[in-house]
């Protein structure tokens, strides 16, 4: 017991001086997306944020606010952090933080609700740094109808065949069907988890997530050794919305968590689509509500999603051109886009657009 305590002394908060380790500690300490933590990280970095938790006072915060925020620190266990690090090593998990070459830049749009760190596993880490228009999210009910599962398979397969990376939750229903549709396809998938990546679901056949990871990536902001909670599920919703240029709602209810993904995506100025359903059917109400409000695109074929990705790419190219220089750069970008559109004969070609760097700076 004494030996074990000594081995974890380096994980006591006062002894942490490394930015990566400090961010990992915050994942064990703080709720996902805590805005005060995000503000302190933005202004002072992770190591100093821990110092504020231990007693130093950041400017601009009153004692009551600090006391409420610091109550999370009272439950910190350095042995738990040590165990999480050991589990990450045992399961060959990468720990990513902002500034790493593999950090998905789209997550920075979450601002103060961005993950403190990410755990990742898979054979295709370059998927994490693809341009946003090269990734498409699918979301929907866990208890999806057979018709919606068929639609998900058709749409996600179409995306993956075109080389677009599918992003979906690891949970049953629409998300897991979207992931299954990418197996053996060139686009691959990013599966997001609300629990630690060491928590395997042995009931799934043929080591399902190992197969997803072979040509894709598994991603979570929850440390290894931790199960899913309401807080981490909310974090997973933000990942789904932020990782892609377009989110497609296949089937859900009006007040479901899936609708929150759509709302987050719209707030991030991403493109949102919905698959229309038969009036009066339980799972079609939310999609039809979204479509009737005029905020989202009607999605019935893979080409509809490809056009949505292209529209986002055009917007990104225009914004980049405007911010980069004088009006001539805007004209050049617009002309180049027009020339490309004139010479394309299919939605798949339209979606490919210009080079990756032109769509989204890395």
Max avg pLDDT among 71-85, 266-280, 342-356:
71-85
Count of domains forming the chain? 3
Task: Clarify whether residues 196 and 300 are in a common domain.
Answer: yes
Q: Given this model, what pLDDT does residue 3 score?
A: 43
Task: Clarify whether residues 195 and 51 are in a common domain.
Answer: no
Number of Cβ within 10 Å of residue 208's Cβ equals 18
Q: Which long-range contacts (CB under 8 A, 24 or more apart) does 9-14 make?
A: 9/78, 11/78, 11/79, 11/81, 11/82, 11/85, 12/78, 13/50, 13/53, 13/54, 13/73, 13/76, 13/78, 14/54
Domain end (from 305, 320, 351): 305
What region does 301 belong to: left with phi over 0, alpha with psi -120 to 50, or beta?
beta
Closest CA to 240 of 222, 227, 258: 258
**3-state DSSP call for residue 273?**
strand
Q: Is pLDDT of 137 > 80?
A: yes
**What is the pTM (predicted TM-score) of this model?**
0.85
Domain of residue 320: give its range: 311-359
Closest CA to 245 of 279, 271, 222: 271
User: What confidence tens digit (pLDDT) does each residue in 22-56 have?
Assistant: 999 999 999 999 999 999 999 999 999 999 999 99
CATH number of the domain at 184, please.
Answer: 3.40.50.450
User: Number of H helices and number of E strands within the chain?
Assistant: 16, 9
Which residue carries 């990376």 as its tokens?
Answer: 165
- d(CA 218, CA 324) in angstroms, rounded, equals 35
φ/ψ of residue 249, rounded to 5:
-90, 120
Task: Clarify whether residues 40 and 109 are in a common domain.
Answer: no
Task: Clarify whether residues 295 and 195 are in a common domain.
Answer: yes
Task: Clarify whether residues 288 and 329 are in a common domain.
Answer: no
Task: Clarify whether residues 84 and 100 are in a common domain.
Answer: no
Task: Clarify whether residues 231 and 83 are in a common domain.
Answer: no
Task: Clarify whether residues 274 and 211 are in a common domain.
Answer: yes
Beta bridge partners of 168: 191
Q: Given this model, what pLDDT does residue 349 score?
A: 43
Domain end (from 90, 117, 147): 90
Domain end (from 40, 61, 90): 90
Q: Is pLDDT of 332 > 60?
A: no
User: What confidence tens digit (pLDDT) does each residue in 208-232 have?
Assistant: 999 999 999 999 999 999 999 999 9
Task: Clarify whether residues 286 and 335 are in a common domain.
Answer: no
Q: Is pLDDT of 268 > 50?
A: yes
- d(CA 347, CA 352) in angstroms, rounded, equals 9
**3-state DSSP call for residue 204?**
coil
Average pLDDT, the chain: 86
Task: Clarify whether residues 30 and 85 are in a common domain.
Answer: yes
In angstroms, what CA-CA distances link 129 with 24, 125, 347, 356, 361?
21, 8, 24, 10, 10
Eight-state DSSP code of residue 294: T
Percent of the chain with pLDDT over 70: 85
Task: Clarify whether residues 101 and 224 are in a common domain.
Answer: yes
Average pLDDT over residues 253-262: 84
Q: Is pLDDT of 283 > 70?
A: no
Task: Clarify whether residues 111 and 77 are in a common domain.
Answer: no
């Amino acid at each position: 017991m004494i030996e074990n305590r000594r081995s974890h002394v380096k994980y006591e908060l006062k002894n942490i001086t490394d930015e990566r380790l400090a961010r990992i500690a915050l994942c064990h300490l703080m709720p996902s997306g805590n805005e005060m933590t995000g503000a302190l990280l933005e202004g002072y970095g992770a190591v100093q944020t821990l110092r504020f938790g231990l007693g130093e006072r950041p400017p601009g915060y009153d004692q009551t606010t600090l006391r409420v925020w610091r109550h999370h620190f009272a439950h910190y266990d350095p042995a738990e952090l040590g165990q999480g690090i050991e589990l990450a090593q045992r399961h060959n998990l990468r720990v990513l933080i902002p500034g790493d070459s593999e950090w998905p830049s789209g997550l920075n749009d979450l601002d103060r609700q961005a993950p403190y760190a990410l755990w990742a596993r898979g054979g295709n880490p370059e998927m994490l740094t693809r341009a946003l228009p090269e990734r498409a999210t699918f979301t929907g009910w866990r208890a999806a109808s057979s018709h919606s599962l068929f639609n998900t398979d058709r749409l996600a397969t179409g995306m993956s065949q075109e080389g677009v990376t599918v992003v979906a939750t690891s949970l049953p229903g629409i998300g897991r069907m979207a992931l299954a549709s990418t197996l053996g396809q060139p686009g691959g998938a990013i599966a997001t988890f609300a629990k630690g990546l060491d928590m395997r679901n042995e009931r799934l056949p043929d080591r399902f997530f190992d197969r997803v990871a072979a040509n894709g990536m598994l991603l979570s902001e929850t440390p290894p050794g931790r199960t899913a909670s309401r807080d981490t599920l909310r974090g997973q919703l933000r990942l789904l919305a932020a990782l892609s240029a377009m989110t497609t709602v296949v089937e859900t209810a009006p007040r479901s968590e899936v609708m929150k993904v759509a709302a987050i995506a719209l707030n991030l100025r991403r493109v949102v689509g919905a698959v229309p359903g038969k009036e009066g059917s339980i799972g079609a109400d939310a999609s039809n509500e979204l479509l009737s409000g005029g905020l989202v695109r009607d999605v019935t074929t893979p080409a509809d999603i490809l056009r949505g990705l292209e529209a986002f790419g055009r917007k990104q190219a225009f914004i980049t051109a405007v911010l980069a220089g004088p009006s001539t750069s805007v004209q050049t970008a617009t002309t180049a886009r027009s020339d490309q559109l004139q010479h394309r004969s299919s939605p798949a070609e339209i979606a490919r657009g210009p080079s990756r760097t032109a769509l989204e700076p890395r």
